[in-house]
């Protein structure tokens, strides 16, 4: 029996190129006799299909594999929704950078075919859980595959907060905020903020200050099991925001407590056999290639 028989599909619905790739993929999967389950919004963007449909949040209940056609943002959203099901994700790149969606459109049938025949690499990634507590009551929360970011929000103004790691006071900081990033997110916003690139297999989290008021404040890498607490200062004249993967945004109030820790559910990313993290870095970050 094939390992992957029920295949879920998620696509970036506003993109015509994504729609074309989805239609190719559906035809390929139907020819192979696979059962296709389309995410509901994706299904509405397609002119014709005979596939079952499901909401994104329920897609993992009926699928052995979910293929995401789009950019890294599409895969991040799928990861947040589906991590609890332990269903593996495979990405077809129809975005710009494509650190996570590593099958190109011209390789679609060949690479997806290899994966479905068992020729693939499986990689485990962890996510972060975030919650905001106000006066002892949880006001909001979310999860992130890349990062959780505390930032000023709509106003360009320094904010003040205290950082605790595993219950120990680290510092009080005045800055534009703080990025708390997984290894997956270390090549995203954290990299732009001056953070290090971390190999995806590392069980570590990096904290990257955003334009700190003191030049001695530098990124810190800590173990992945660490628990973080940020206390929003009562002195702030604005309301700092918290975002998860740049998508879900929450507005805090002075005195709020933000807690962040590793999510209990892990994500399995599927890659073609020729996937190489360092080659991805060379290609996506324009590192110099050694001449032959």
255 in the same domain as 134: yes
Supply the CATH number for residue 186's domain. 2.60.200.30
d(CA 93, CA 105): 7
223 in the same domain as 258: yes
pLDDT tens-digit profile of 194-235? Answer: 999 999 999 999 999 999 988 889 999 999 999 999 999 998
pLDDT tens-digit profile of 231-274? Answer: 999 988 889 999 999 988 999 999 999 999 999 999 999 999 99
Position of tokens 């604005």? Answer: 238
Residue 14, C-beta contacts closer than 8 angstroms, at least 6 positions apart: 45
167 in the same domain as 219: yes
pTM for the model: 0.93
Put residue 154 in one of left, alpha, beta given phi > 0 → left and psi -120 to 50 → alpha: alpha
In a domain, 291, yes or no: no
152 closest CA partner among 122, 174, 168: 174
Contact of 116 with 213, CB cutoff 8 Å: no
212 in the same domain as 97: no
10 closest CA partner among 50, 60, 48, 47: 60
Contact of 88 with 268, CB cutoff 8 Å: yes
In a domain, 27, yes or no: yes
68 closest CA partner among 257, 262, 269: 269
Which structural domain, as residue segments, surrounds residue 171?
127-264
Residue 99, C-beta contacts closer than 8 angstroms, at least 6 positions apart: 72, 187, 188, 280, 284
Residues serving a catalytic function are 72
142 in the same domain as 103: no
d(CA 250, CA 135): 16
Per-residue pLDDT of the chain in tens (292 residues, 90 and over written 9): 578 999 999 998 777 888 999 999 999 999 999 999 999 999 988 876 778 899 999 999 999 999 999 999 999 999 999 999 999 999 999 877 778 988 999 999 999 999 999 999 999 999 999 999 999 999 999 999 999 999 998 878 899 999 999 999 999 999 999 999 999 999 999 999 999 999 999 999 999 999 998 888 999 999 999 999 999 999 888 899 999 999 889 999 999 999 999 999 999 999 999 999 999 999 888 887 765 5
Supply the CATH number for residue 64's domain. 3.40.50.10330
In a domain, 78, yes or no: yes
Contact of 89 with 101, CB cutoff 8 Å: no
Burial class of residue 86, CB neighbours in 10 A (0-12, 13-18, 19+): exposed
63 in the same domain as 160: no
260 in the same domain as 140: yes
In a domain, 186, yes or no: yes
98 in the same domain as 28: yes
224 in the same domain as 280: no
115 in the same domain as 21: yes
Cα torsion 68, 271, 87, 99 to 10°: value is -50
Number of domains in the chain: 2
In a domain, 230, yes or no: yes
In a domain, 238, yes or no: yes
Angstrom distances, CA of residue 207 to CA of 124, 186, 228: 21, 10, 10
Q: Where are the alpha helices (DSSP H) in 86-127?
A: 108-116
């Amino acid at each position: 029996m094939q390992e992957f028989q029920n295949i879920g599909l998620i696509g970036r619905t506003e993109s015509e190129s994504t729609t074309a790739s989805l239609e190719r993929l559906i035809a390929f999967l139907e020819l192979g006799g696979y059962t296709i389950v389309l995410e509901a919004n994706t299904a509405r963007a397609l002119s014709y299909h005979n596939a079952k449909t499901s909401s994104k949040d329920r897609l993992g209940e009926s699928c052995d594999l979910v293929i995401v056609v789009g950019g890294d943002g599409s895969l991040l959203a799928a990861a947040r929704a589906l991590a609890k099901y332990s269903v593996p994700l495979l990405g077809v790149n129809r975005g710009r950078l494509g650190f996570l969606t590593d099958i190109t459109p011209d390789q679609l049938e060949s690479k997806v075919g290899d994966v479905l025949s068992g020729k693939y690499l499986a990689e485990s990634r962890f996510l972060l859980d975030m919650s905001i507590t106000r006066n002892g009551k949880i006001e909001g929360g979310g999860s992130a595959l890349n990062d959780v970011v505390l930032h000023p929000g709509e106003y360009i103004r320094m904010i003040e907060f205290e950082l605790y790691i595993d219950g120990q006071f680290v510092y009080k900081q005045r800055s534009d905020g703080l990025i708390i990033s997984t290894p997956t997110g270390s090549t995203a916003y954290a990299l732009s903020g001056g953070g290090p690139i971390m190999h995806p297999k590392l069980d570590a989290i990096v904290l990257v200050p955003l334009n700190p008021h003191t030049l001695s404040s530098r990124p810190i890498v800590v173990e992945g099991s660490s628990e973080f607490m940020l206390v929003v200062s009562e002195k702030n004249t604005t309301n700092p925001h918290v975002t998860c993967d740049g998508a879900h945004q929450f507005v805090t109030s002075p005195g709020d407590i933000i807690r962040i820790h590793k999510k209990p559910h892990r994500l399995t990313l599927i890659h073609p056999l020729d996937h190489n993290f360092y080659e991805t870095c060379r290609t996506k970050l324009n590192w110099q290639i050694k001449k032959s």
